[in-house]
Each structure stands twice: as C-alpha cells, then as structure tokens.
Structure 1
Amino acid sequence: MSQEPAHPASSIYTKIFYALCFCTVLSIVFDIIDLREKDVVGIKGVILLAFLVLAVACAKALFVLIYFMHLKFEGKWKYVLLSPTIILAMGLTIAMTPDIGIHYYTSEAPQIDYLEQAQQASADAAPEQPETSHVE
C-alpha cells in the first residue's frame, strides 16, 4: 500500500489563514494606537490611520477574493462580468460629485428660522401688560 501524499492545497490555505490572522492583529493594533491627535512624519494622524486601516482591509479582502472565492483560478470571463459593475460605480460617483462635492444642498432647516420669526413676531405683537402687585 502506498501512502497518499499530503494535499498541497491545504498548506496554502493554512498560510492564508495565518496571513488573515496577522492582518486582524494589525487592525487591532491600529485601533489601540491612537494616532488621531498626532502628526507622524508630517502627515496628520487621522489620515495615516485611515490609510493604514484601509490598506489592511484591502489586503484581507484580497486574500479572501483570490483564494477562498477561487478568483485566482478563474478564467478571463471574470473581467467581462466585473466591467459593467465598475463602469456603473464610476459613473455613479461622477454623477453624484456635483451634489455631494460642491455642497449644493445645505443642512440648514428653514422651518427653524420660520418658527423663531413667528415667535418673535407674536412676542412683538402682544401688548405689554402692566404688572400688578398685590400689596396687603
């Protein structure tokens, strides 16, 4: 009887598992280290923290996409399927830029100003009543 060789695929999944664990530890470390109020090498801490967290998240997503969703082993047709999605996402971003980027819509609520004006007008229109004192 011959022994079956170990599956080489299981070793790559083990490496991916450890890489995902390492990325998770990095995410926790970035969460613990508070860089928001500091400047690191001339870069604001918030920007650096956002970049680092986004980079780790992209790395984790890439590992999952390539190996666990088997996109590494798929043919060229995946690009045909993803192209319309990418085009629509970019088109939507470009279409929404004037509304979001230029701040065409404000967060002011005119109803609040109207309420204050109405209260002021009613206070001005009300006749002043003389104060009466009850002296005994």
Structure 2
Amino acid sequence: MDDIYRENILDHYKNPRNFGKLKNPTASFSLYNSACGDKIEIQLKMKNEKLKIIEDIRFSGEGCAISMASASMLTEKVMRKNIHEIKKLNTQDILDMLGITLTPTRLKCALLPLEVLQKAINS
C-alpha cells in the first residue's frame, strides 16, 4: 500500500497541481524551512465576503519531494473550501493525505504548506 502513496507523492512532485502565481491574489504568504531548505509561497483568491471561500489557489517555491507534493495535494484539497474548514486542518489531515509515515524532520517538510496556507488566510 505504501508504494501507491509513494507513487502519488512522486506524481505530485514531478507534476505539481496549482503551481504558479495568481494575478491580484486576495492573500499570500511564504515561509522557509531552514532544516531542509524548502521555501513555499501560497497565493489565493477568496470570494463571498462572509464565508471566504477559496476561489483559486496557487503555490510556488522549491523544496524536497515531500514539501512540494504536500503543497500540491493541499491546494487540491482546499479549492472551493471556506476558511473555517481550512483552519480546522491539522497534522493528522496532512499525514492522511500523504499516506506515509514520516520522520520528525520530514514532518516539518510536510506541514510547511499547511502553515503557510493558514498564515495566508489569517493575514
């Protein structure tokens, strides 16, 4: 079963979804993980002033397969979700999404995109 998840991670790393920049984003944020050298920026456009639904989202940066795949998968997961749902996402959600066991160092890589996203929606 781990092989299927590893293949999915490699696919998202080699063919990232929602990679790039947005014109006129509603919010953006970036962070750097000095332990691994990962840098992730997330930009998003929100609609519906009251519910704040993510209408479009993009990420850019560079990093290891885990951080890039996590960012790619996360952007797919949160598209058209409201920020209240996104604020509830946690470590276990990311681990479930990736489907593999991670060392503490790799866990930081996997969680970087979620940290960036949550800071972007709070900015």
Q: TM-score, normalised by structure 1?
A: 0.23
Q: TM-score, normalised by structure 2?
A: 0.25
Flag the structure with higher strand content: 2
Identify which of structures 1 and 2 has the higher relative contact order when contacts are C-alpha pairs closer than 8 Å and 6+ apart. 2
